Structure 1
Amino acid sequence: MNGFERRKALKKNNILEASLSLFLKNGISKVSVSEIAKVADVSQVTIYNYFESKDNLIGEVYRYYVHQVWEEYLRLFNSKIPFPEKVKTMIFDKTLVANQINEEFLEYFMKNYMQEDSYIMKFYTETALPQFLELIAEGKEQGYIDKSISDEAIMLYIQMFADHMRREDIASSLLPLTEDLTKLFFYGIFGKGME
C-alpha cells in the first residue's frame, strides 16, 4: 500500500470511528454528516466521496462495528485461559459489547441488518457460529458441558444469560454475585455432581 492509499484508508477509518462513536452515544437520526465530519476532522465532501450517502455510511458503520466486536471475541476464543473463564468473560465482560448502546442504534440494526440475506447474518452464519460451536465442543471435550445437550440449546442459553447480565438496570447489582451466577450457569441449581 502506497502513501496515498494508506492516508485514504486512515481517513476512511477515522470517519467510521467517529460515526460509530456518535451513533452509539446519540443514535442515528440525531447525528448529522457535519457532526461526523467535525469529529473525524474531514470535510463533509470527503464523507460523501467515500460513502456517497448517510445510508451507505450507516451500513458500513454496522459492518465495522460487527467486525470490531468479533475481533474481541476471537482474542478471547484463542486465548489460553480455561474454558470456564472464557464463558464468564463472554457473559459478564461489557468490553465485548459496548457499555452504552443507544436504543435507536440497536433498533435500526435489528430492523435493517438482521434479515436472513443480510451481510451481518451471512457473517454470523459463516464465521461467528462455527467459532461458537468450536468453543462449545471445547467445553464438552474438557468435561464442562454435558455432551448430551444439543449445541443449539447451549447457544440459546448462553445468549439469553449474556443478554440479561448486560442489562444496565441490573448489571451493578449482579457484580457481587458473579461467582454464584457462573456456578449456576455451569451446574444449575443442583450443583456439580448431582444427577
Structure 2
Amino acid sequence: MDGFKRRRELKKSHILQAALTLFMDFGVQKVSIKEIATKANVSQVTIYNYFESKNNLVHEVIKHYISETWWEFESLFDNDLPFPEKIKKLIFAKTETAQHINSNFYNVIMKEYSAGISYIEELYQKKAIPKMMELFEEGKREGYVDPDLSNESILMYFHIFKEAMQREDIYNKILPMTEDIMKILFYGIIGKGDHPN
C-alpha cells in the first residue's frame, strides 16, 4: 500500500472510530456529520467524499464495530483459559457492551442484523458458528458440557436464538436483560454448576 492509500485508510479509520464513539454515546439520530467531522478532525466534505451519505457511514460504522467486536471474541476463543473462564468473559463482555451502548444505536444495528445483511450473516455462518462449536467441543473435553449433546442440537439451539434475536419485538426489549439472556444461553435455566460433570 502506497503512502497516499495508507493516509486515506488511516483517515477513514479515524472517521469510523469517531462516529462509533459518538453513536455509542448518543445514538445515530442525535449525531450530525458536523459533530463526527469535528471529533475526527476532518471536514464534512471529506466524510461525504469517503462515505457519500450518513446512511452509508452508519452502515460502515456497524461493519467496523462488528469487526472490532468479533476480533475481541476471536482472541478470547483462542485463549488458553479454561472453558468456564471463557464463558464468564463472554457474558461479561456482552454485559459491558449492553451497559455502554446507546439504545438507538443498538436498534440500528439490530435492524441491519434482522434484515439479513450479508456481511453479518457471513461472519455468523463462516466464523462465529465454527468458533462456538470449537468452544463447546472444548467444554465437552473438559467435562463442562454434556458429551451426549449432539452438535446438531447445539447448532439448532443457536439457530433458534439467532432467529428470535432478529425479531423486532424481541430485540427492542432485550438490551436491559443482556446478562440474564447470556447466562441462560450458556448455562440454561437451572444455572451453572460449580464442578465439571
Specify whether residues 156 and 85 from structure 1 end up closer, same or farther in structure 2 by C-alpha distance, changes over 3 A only. Answer: farther
Bigger CA drift: 116-125 or 37-46?
Answer: 116-125
Report what 1:17 is aligned to: 17
1:105 maps to 105
Q: CA deviation at 1:113?
A: 3.1
Q: TM-score, normalised by structure 2?
A: 0.77
Q: Distance in 2 between matches of 1:56 and 1:112?
A: 12
SS at match of 1:186: coil
The verdict on how the C-alpha distance between 1:115 and 1:53 changes in structure 2, with shifts beyond 3 A counting, is same
CA distance in 1, matches of 2:178, 2:98: 13
How far has the Cα of 1:125 moved from its partner? 1.5
**How far 1:151 moved relative to its partner?**
1.3
CA distance in 2, matches of 1:56, 1:141: 45
Q: Mind listing any 5+ residue stretches in structure 1 that lack a counterpart?
A: 168-180
State how far apart, in whole Å, the 1-side matches of 2:96 and 2:73 are: 7
Q: Is residue 56 of structure 2 the alignment partner of residue 56 of structure 1?
A: yes
CA distance in 2, matches of 1:146, 1:16: 42
Q: Which moved more, 1:14-23 or 1:98-107?
A: 98-107
1:131 alignment partner in structure 2:
131
**Distance in 2 of aligned mates of 1:164 and 1:115:** 23
8 Å contact from structure 1 (residues 91, 158) kept in 2: no
CA distance in 2, matches of 1:66, 1:193: 33
Cα gap change, 1:111/1:93 in structure 2, threshold over 3 Å: closer, same or farther? closer
Counterpart of 1:86?
Answer: 86
Structure 2 gap segments, 5+ residues each: 166-174, 181-186
2:192 to 166, 186, 192: 186
Do residues 70 (structure 1) and 70 (structure 2) align?
Answer: yes
- The 1:117–1:35 alpha-carbon spacing in structure 2 relative to 1, beyond 3 Å, is closer
The equivalent position to 1:151 in structure 2, one of 140, 149, 154, is: 154
Tell me what 1:170 maps to.
none
Whole-angstrom distance in 2 between the partners of 1:97 and 1:116 = 22
**Is the partner of 2:100 in helix, strand or coil?**
coil
Larger RCO: Structure 1 or Structure 2 (Cα < 8 Å, ≥ 6 residues apart)?
Answer: 2
Tell me, yes or no, if the aligned pair for 1:92 and 1:166 is still in contact at 8 Å. yes
CA RMSD of superposed structures (Å): 3.0
SS of residue in 2 equivalent to 1:166:
helix
Shift in Å, 1:83: 1.1
Per-residue CA deviations over 1:31-63 (Å, capped at 9, x if unaligned) read 000100000000011101111111000000000
For 2:179, the aligned partner's letter is R
Counting aligned pairs with the same residue, the percent is 44
Partner amino acid, structure 1, of 2:155? E
